[in-house]
Chains A and B, each alone.
Chain A
């Protein structure tokens, strides 16, 4: 018969079989994988938005960012039950007595503070952000990013501390299964409540339910199931969601100014200036590209407009230049964006004038917006009035 390890306190207050090494080991393994996925995809998104000189994010495949960022948010959501279940499984250890046994034990326990606090913070702040709830004073992006490093460091330390225990707990299970194949999967406590296996299954079910009711924000066929999805891919002006409205960006007047000009300048021999009609008179190209938001929603749309590389050629720019795209929006972190050399010269990188064969809605960036393949939505600058070649 299997006997579980005695919990460190008296058994009475923690009599549940779920405060268990093997449960903790399985959940720990799943959390390790999930947090690593979130960290890597988050790091990718960070590097795209604040690229160091060695990092050039490609323009192809066009839907790559949609996948990495969709994965980031979907994994984070699915991790919520994993983390809560894990904390439940190890909760008695919080009250271990004596609290510290040795220097190594002290180091190990100290790293649990950033581990537990950081993990909870990452998931809470992430979920709050996709619902655009900001009950704090700090900037979400910068703080979520740096606390991710702290949390990931704590995970590395924790893996070092727990690798052998985890290996042992998981290996022992399979050995027992081999030696006693007739042993019932259900423990005798089954009649009294959730078994260990039942608890893990319940946790997986909770992750599954949360995924099912949120994935519709990026996986179109699941839209109708997306009862708790923060966005619907077809809901918004012209059937496309909006992150920053024209009112929010305070461009309602400037974007409709009949004196509007698009200017191409910087390190080019010919400075260019176009009215909206002149832009429409240039060769127009179509592209079917997604808006892929950092918040995890995405939606594909049909765009048409002027190729950025055509404008660069007209201005006489040298091949391989980069371009800063500037908005009429006067303030805000996303009022301009940079096109690296790959994005600047991609045939699908457009200054779009039309969305689904109609002029852009002002909330989608009328008169002109940037749309390029494989790029976060916040870098698809709207209300564009200037390209600065560098």
Chain B
């Protein structure tokens, strides 16, 4: 395997970079000023904790957990099924993550049953079952193809 000739490195910090930075930081400053000007509502100390907390939670908890789990999957699942299993796991994990506040039903109110009117735990189970049914079908097709190739 030989590497192709590398194209010239794109100019990363040209005029566009500084124009974007100037405009972007100006817009960001608008947001910060607005956030502070309505501090009675936005409670900046609390808001900052949630904003930065979201990044810290992702970068130090979610991403490393996905890496570890990914390594495990790559070791355990046979090569022929690996891509399909990884794909199904990714979709399942994203749906499950999204469904968390629905399944827990934090927002339910006795005085207003039209909020979160469904059984979301069983809804999630149905969606996950559908995802894995598709994955199983894809795997069956792939196995059959590999077998046909071998014979």
User: Is A160 touching B95 in the complex (CB atoms < 8 A)?
Assistant: no
User: Is B34 touching A146 in the complex (CB atoms < 8 A)?
Assistant: yes
- B126 vs chain A, min Cβ distance (A): 6
- B37 vs chain A, min Cβ distance (A): 9
Complex Cα gap A94–B59 (Å): 8
User: Is B90 touching A206 in the complex (CB atoms < 8 A)?
Assistant: yes
- Complex contacts, B21 vs chain A, CB 8 Å: 107-108, 111, 157, 160-161
Complex Cα gap A148–B31 (Å): 7
Q: Mark A213-257, 1 if CB is under 8 A from B, else 0.
A: 100000000000011111110011100011111011000000000
Complex Cα gap A87–B11 (Å): 23
- Check A282 for interface membership: any CB of B closer than 8 A: no
- Check B91 for interface membership: any CB of A closer than 8 A: yes
- Check A147 for interface membership: any CB of B closer than 8 A: yes
Instruction: Count CB-based A-B contacts (< 8 Å).
Output: 264
- Check A177 for interface membership: any CB of B closer than 8 A: no
- Check A372 for interface membership: any CB of B closer than 8 A: no
- Complex contacts, B29 vs chain A, CB 8 Å: 153
User: Is B31 touching A230 in the complex (CB atoms < 8 A)?
Assistant: no
Complex Cα gap A275–B117 (Å): 36
User: Is B111 touching A245 in the complex (CB atoms < 8 A)?
Assistant: yes
Q: Mark B102-116, 1 if CB is under 8 A from A, else 0.
A: 101111010111111
- B92 vs chain A, min Cβ distance (A): 9
Task: Identify which of B16, B90, B105, B131 gathers the most chain A CB atoms within 10 Å of its CB.
Answer: B90
- Check A53 for interface membership: any CB of B closer than 8 A: no
- Complex contacts, B12 vs chain A, CB 8 Å: 104, 108, 161, 164-165
- A333 vs chain B, min Cβ distance (A): 9
Complex Cα gap A237–B124 (Å): 26
User: Is B117 touching A235 in the complex (CB atoms < 8 A)?
Assistant: yes
Q: Mark B20-44, 1 if CB is under 8 A from A, else 0.
A: 1101111111111011001001110
- Check A13 for interface membership: any CB of B closer than 8 A: yes
Q: Mark B49-91, 1 if CB is under 8 A from A, else 0.
A: 0111011001100010011001000100001101100110011
Task: Identify which of B1, B7, B80, B111 gathers the most chain A CB atoms within 10 Å of its CB.
Answer: B111
Q: Mark A128-140, 1 if CB is under 8 A from B, else 0.
A: 1001110111110
User: Is A116 touching B90 in the complex (CB atoms < 8 A)?
Assistant: no
Complex: chain A residue closest to B126, CB-CB: A227
User: Is A147 touching B51 in the complex (CB atoms < 8 A)?
Assistant: yes
A3-B3, A107-B21, A160-B23 in contact; A154/B28 too (CB < 8 A)?
yes
Task: Identify which of A146, A203, A226, A363 gathers the most chain B CB atoms within 10 Å of its CB.
Answer: A146
- B142 vs chain A, min Cβ distance (A): 10
- Complex contacts, A245 vs chain B, CB 8 Å: 109, 111-112
- B129 vs chain A, min Cβ distance (A): 11
* Contact residues, A190-204 vs B (CB, 8 A): 190-195, 198-199, 201-203
Instruction: Pick 23 A–B contacts, CB within 8 A, sort by A.
Output: A84-B94, A120-B54, A120-B58, A131-B102, A133-B107, A137-B43, A138-B46, A143-B35, A149-B28, A149-B34, A153-B25, A157-B21, A160-B17, A164-B10, A168-B7, A194-B90, A202-B87, A206-B90, A213-B95, A213-B123, A227-B118, A235-B113, A243-B112
